[in-house]
């Protein structure tokens, strides 16, 4: 997979979205134009997605997050890595997360 | 709660002859009593905490509210989608910049009163309003900000229906034919003088049917299917609220929470200045909506009527017409029966 996602990078939620938890689901609402592929659609994360989102705190790089997920989830490592990277890639394409640049 | 309606003001820069809620733009009493921007923000925050997904800003004309931009931004930053009901005449370059950068995420809904200056201003009552409204529409279109139009073509513009539909057809965000205001509601504040004027503008059941017939066989067939879906067995008896009241609660310009946009009977509203949206949602409205009708005439007629599911009769309209919640409204009754007769539903067996 030719992924744009780099395990050494730190990803954070974009300032251009608002994340809201409604009835257990995490809904990502675009704030500015050009975020998301459909302005009238809200993007919803499931339990696992919500868990990954909550770890995008700007302190940990993806590798560190993946290591934590692998110890906490009863799944094989490759599936966890592929699923997490797939989700982050989609969020990155939708401009819902950004790569944090070191200063 | 999927959506909260907020009437930001009852004031308007138009003076539409048919409108049930349009105080003058500079009405002192309204200005002195409207919710402050902080009050509105507090209510929006409460709505967001209750899981509300969208807020509909209406009025009056919501864009005459001094802090509209601030309120709009606040709602969007809470993660709420915004539906805006407007006449478009105040959509200036600043509004375009705002909506271009922070999109409402829902189409802006614009009411159009006519396709020419004379027909438009015969309804809006304000010279120059036609030009301003269409300039606002042009700006939105040029900036590709999604909007749709609805018609309020009264007798002065009835002959422009086709031109309006052609105009609407060129708006990329329209999904089908535009809605039209047909059955005019009376003043929400029971302004009896205004009500007399609105009554005179209403079309007769015969005229209503004649206009529907003009829509062609296909739409009449669709109407018949709609009627069949909403036809109800005559066993509702004394149920008062068989409408959508309570689904989208509405905050009026002064902080009273209503079961819908129209129902302003003082016994049916909740004062948000003294309580919370959560309390109203969880306690006040469930109790209100379980109220029974008491008027024997209503129970005998509306309670047993099979057309009740698509008749416009509801507690709000009973209040606007008669000052009670459960009095049959002849106008809507005649309209519903005329429509059913037109589609042939009247003769059908229920089932």
Q: State whether B79 and A29 contact (CB < 8 Å).
A: yes
Q: How high is the pLDDT of residue B350?
A: 47
Q: Is B308 inside any structural domain?
A: yes
Mean pLDDT (chain B, rounded): 92
Q: How high is the pLDDT of residue B351?
A: 38
**B60 prior amide bond cis, ω within 30:** yes
What ipTM does the predicted assembly reach? 0.87
Picking from B150, B177, B203, the residue at the C-terminal end of a domain is B203
Q: SS3 helix, strand, coil % of chain B, rounded to 5?
A: 45, 10, 40
Nearest-CB residue to B76 (from A19, A31, A40): A31
Q: Is B111 inside any structural domain?
A: yes
Q: State whether A32 and B106 contact (CB < 8 Å).
A: no
Q: State whether B105 and A40 contact (CB < 8 Å).
A: yes
The percent of residues above 70 in pLDDT, for chain B, comes to 96
Nearest-CB residue to B103 (from A23, A33, A42): A33
Q: How high is the pLDDT of residue B175?
A: 92
Q: How high is the pLDDT of residue B260?
A: 95
Q: Output B312 or B55, whichever has higher pLDDT.
A: B55
| Domain with B310 in it | 190-195+204-240+292-351
Q: How high is the pLDDT of residue A39?
A: 52
Question: Which chain A residues are within 8 Å of B77, Cβ to Cβ?
Answer: 18, 31
> What is the number of structural domains in chain B?
2
Q: How high is the pLDDT of residue B75?
A: 98
- Is the domain of B118 the same as that of B178? yes
Q: How high is the pLDDT of residue B58?
A: 97
Q: SS3 helix, strand, coil % of chain A, rounded to 5?
A: 35, 20, 45
- Is the domain of B161 the same as that of B223? no
Tell me the three state secondary structure of residue B7. strand
Q: State whether A27 and B79 contact (CB < 8 Å).
A: yes
Average pLDDT over residues A9-19: 96
- Is the domain of B209 the same as that of B77? no
Most confident range (mean pLDDT) of B115-124, B195-204, B208-217 is: B115-124
Q: What are phi and psi of B14, to 5 degrees?
A: -105, 170
Q: Is B257 inside any structural domain?
A: no
Shortest CA gap B100–chain A (Å): 7
Q: Which of B44, B72, B103, B172 should one mutate to test binding to chain A, selecting the residue with the greatest count of A CBs within 10 A?
A: B103
Nearest-CB residue to B102 (from A22, A31, A40): A31
What residues does each domain of chain A span?
11-99
**Tokens of residue B195, six digits:** 């009500």
Q: Starting from the edge strand earliest in sequence, which strands make up the sheet with B256-258, in order?
A: B147-151, B108-112, B81-86, B54-58, B3-7, B250-251, B256-258, B270-271
Give, in words, the CATH class of A11-99: mainly alpha
Q: Model confidence over B229-284: pLDDT tens digits?
A: 776 666 667 889 988 899 889 999 999 999 999 999 999 999 999 999 999 999 99
Distance CA B140, CA B83 (A): 15
Question: Which chain A residues are within 8 Å of B74, Cβ to Cβ?
Answer: none
- Is the domain of B221 the same as that of B335? yes
Q: Model confidence over B169-194: pLDDT tens digits?
A: 999 999 999 998 888 999 878 888 88
Q: How high is the pLDDT of residue B25?
A: 97
Q: How high is the pLDDT of residue B154?
A: 86
């Amino acid at each position: 997979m030719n992924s744009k996602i780099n395990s050494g990078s730190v990803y954070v939620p974009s300032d251009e979205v608002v994340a809201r938890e409604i009835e257990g689901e995490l809904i990502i609402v675009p704030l500015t134009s050009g975020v998301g592929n459909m302005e009238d659609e809200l993007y919803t994360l499931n339990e696992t997605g919500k868990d990954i989102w909550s770890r995008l705190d700007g302190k940990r790089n993806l590798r560190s997050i993946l290591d934590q997920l692998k110890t906490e989830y009863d799944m094989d490592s490759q599936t966890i890595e592929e699923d997490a990277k797939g989700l982050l890639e989609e969020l990155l394409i939708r401009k819902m997360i950004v790569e944090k640049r070191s200063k | 709660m999927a959506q909260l309606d907020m009437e930001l003001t009852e004031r308007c820069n138009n003076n539409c002859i048919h409108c049930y809620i349009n105080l003058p733009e500079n009405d002192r009493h309204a200005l002195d009593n409207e919710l402050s921007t902080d009050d509105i923000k507090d209510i929006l925050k409460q709505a967001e905490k209750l899981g509300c997904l969208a807020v509909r800003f209406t009025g009056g004309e919501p864009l005459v509210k001094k802090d509209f931009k601030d309120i709009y931004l606040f709602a969007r930053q809470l993660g709420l989608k915004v539906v805006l009901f407007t006449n478009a005449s105040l959509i200036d370059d600043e509004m375009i910049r705002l909506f271009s950068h922070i999109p409402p995420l829902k189409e802006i809904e614009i009411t159009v009163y006519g396709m020419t200056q004379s027909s438009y201003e015969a309804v809006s009552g304000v010279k120059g309003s036609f030009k301003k409204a269409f300039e606002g529409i042009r700006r939105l279109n040029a900036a590709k900000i999604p909007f749709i139009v609805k018609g309020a073509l009264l007798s002065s513009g009835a002959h422009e229906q086709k031109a309006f539909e052609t105009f609407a057809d060129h708006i990329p965000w329209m999904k089908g034919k535009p809605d039209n205001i047909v059955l005019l509601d009376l003043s929400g504040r029971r302004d009896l003088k205004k009500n007399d004027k609105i009554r005179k503008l209403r079309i007769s059941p015969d005229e209503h049917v004649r206009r529907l017939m003009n829509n062609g066989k296909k739409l009449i067939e669709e109407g018949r299917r709609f009627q069949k879906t909403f036809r109800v067995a005559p066993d509702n008896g004394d149920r008062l609220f068989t409408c959508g009241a309570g689904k989208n609660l509405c905050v009026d310009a002064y902080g009273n929470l209503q079961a819908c946009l129209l129902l302003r009977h003082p016994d049916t509203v909740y004062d948000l200045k003294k309580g919370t949206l959560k309390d109203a949602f969880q306690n006040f409205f469930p109790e209100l909506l379980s109220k029974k009708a008491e008027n024997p005439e209503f129970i005998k007629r509306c309670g047993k009527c099979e057309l009740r599911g698509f008749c416009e009769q509801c507690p709000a309209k009973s209040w606007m017409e008669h000052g009670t919640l459960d009095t049959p409204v002849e106008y809507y009754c005649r309209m519903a029966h005329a429509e059913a007769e037109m589609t042939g539903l009247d003769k059908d067996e229920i089932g």
